[in-house]
Amino acid sequence: MKKIGILTSGGDAPGMNACIRAAVRMAIHNSLEIYGIRRGYRGMIEGDVFPLDRRVITNIIHQGGTILETARAPEFEGADARAQGVNNLQQIGIEGLILIGGDGTFRGGTMLASESDISVIGVPGTIDNDIYGTDYTIGFDTAINTALEAIDRIRDTARSHERLFFVEVMGHHTGFIALESGIAGGAEELLIPESPLEIDELCSHLVEIFYRGKKSAIVIVAETDKPGNSFQIANEVKDRTGFDSRVCILGHVQRGGRPTAHDRILASRLGIAAVQALIDGKSGHMVGEVNRKIVLTPLRDTWQKQKSLHKGLQETSALLRE
Ligand code: ATP
């Protein structure tokens, strides 16, 4: 293998740049030419490809976002668009491709690996942490720290005004961000899809909390597939308990910002591991980190199997919210 390509796809995540940097350095170290593909699968279909060298990846390790840019390209679900993309890469002589993204990106990658001669290796890059085959995805640690900073600020005002707050965090269909930022932020209640809570249970817990003498409370809500749903929950709580509240939707601030040390280190390891996997002749796999060891998982498993929330963390959270 002489030439490889790399792209970022789906939602951007802090640490993607650190991963690109590591992959480029590892490629150069092994005398491989490496090409960047702009805007994910969209750029692959359009042939928007350029050579990467040490100069391009200088001073990007600390930057959020992705220098390769990213996009949603639904047309990639069609075989013609994928064939066009493969053709564009093969014309340049690219034989291996690194995909940094989430489950949607890996669905496309699974197809690519089975339909073409290009070797495909995935790297988990999404703030949601919802990818099977790795303890953490690149961007998750930064996202929970960004959420935590906001929760801490909200606690100051909640305490001063003796208020109930609903803070809505991202996480796709899962409660990873909600659970971990909730524990760290001392949330009084947690609404996540993995352990749904009826509105009556939520209300009686809040009534109990305030009866015991608490003057303020923060409920962390995972947005799931209903962003903005916290407003409705807050209204229902008001109807049943009379508690006035404020709603804060953290939204896209969770996607940006300087990656934490944890995300930079994870991204650096996985960027190197992805190039190594291509050199070793692997394809159709994702590189992940499990118990601090690099692990290869079939791409299909990463989106077909479901990653569960950490049981111990769920128990910790439940106990601290009693
Ligand atoms: P995130 O979880 O951070 O949003 P993601 O990779 O899941 O990241 P998606 O928008 O779901 O983000 O997917 C990224 C891209 O992958 C899509 O825009 C599309 O080009 C491609 N893709 C998604 N699903 C499929 C599929 N079933 N077949 C082929 N390509 C797909």
Q: What is the dihedral of CA 136, 139, 142, 145, to 10 degrees?
A: -60
| DSSP element (H, E) containing 263 | helix 261-279
Q: Is the pLDDT of residue 47 over 90?
A: yes
pLDDT in tens, 124-135: 999 999 999 999
As a whole number, mean pLDDT of residues 210-220 equals 95
Q: Whose CA is nearest to atom 14 of ligand 1?
A: 10
- Does the beta carbon of 53 sit less than 6 angstroms from any atom of ligand 1? no
CA distance 105 to 135: 18
Query: What percentage of residues in the chain have a pLDDT greater than 70?
Result: 100
pTM: 0.97
Q: Is the pLDDT of residue 226 over 90?
A: no
53 is catalytic: no
- Does the beta carbon of 42 sit less than 6 angstroms from any atom of ligand 1? no
Strands 217-222 vs 189-191: parallel, antiparallel or unpaired = parallel
Q: Ligand 1: distance of its center to the CA of 9 in Å?
A: 7
Q: Residues 2, 33: contact at Cβ < 8 Å? A: yes
Task: Report the helix count and the strand count for the chain, using DSSP H and E.
Answer: 11, 11
Q: Ligand 1: distance of its center to the CA of 198 in Å?
A: 32
Ligand 1 atom with least separation from CA of 13: 3
- Does the beta carbon of 254 sit less than 6 angstroms from any atom of ligand 1? no
Quickly state the pLDDT bin for 104 (edges 50, 70, 90). Answer: very high
Backbone angles phi, psi at 194, to 5 degrees: -70, -25
Which pLDDT value is given to residue 225? 84
Q: Ligand 1: distance of its center to the CA of 230 in Å?
A: 26
Q: Whose CA is nearest to atom 3 of ligand 1?
A: 11
**Opening angle at CA 16, ends 13 and 20, nearest 5:** 165
- Does the beta carbon of 115 sit less than 6 angstroms from any atom of ligand 1? no
pLDDT in tens, 158-185: 999 999 999 999 998 999 999 999 999 9
Quickly state the pLDDT bin for 155 (edges 50, 70, 90). Answer: very high
As a whole number, mean pLDDT of residues 179-204 equals 96
Q: Whose CA is nearest to atom 16 of ligand 1?
A: 105
Q: Whose CA is nearest to atom 23 of ligand 1?
A: 104
pLDDT in tens, 263-315: 999 999 999 999 999 999 999 999 999 999 999 999 999 999 999 999 999 99
As a whole number, mean pLDDT of residues 210-227 equals 93
Sequence-ordered list of residues with C-beta below 8 angstroms from that of 35, at least 6 positions apart, any chain:
3, 4, 5, 6, 49, 50, 51, 52, 92, 94
CA distance 13 to 219: 25
Q: Is the pLDDT of residue 8 over 90?
A: yes
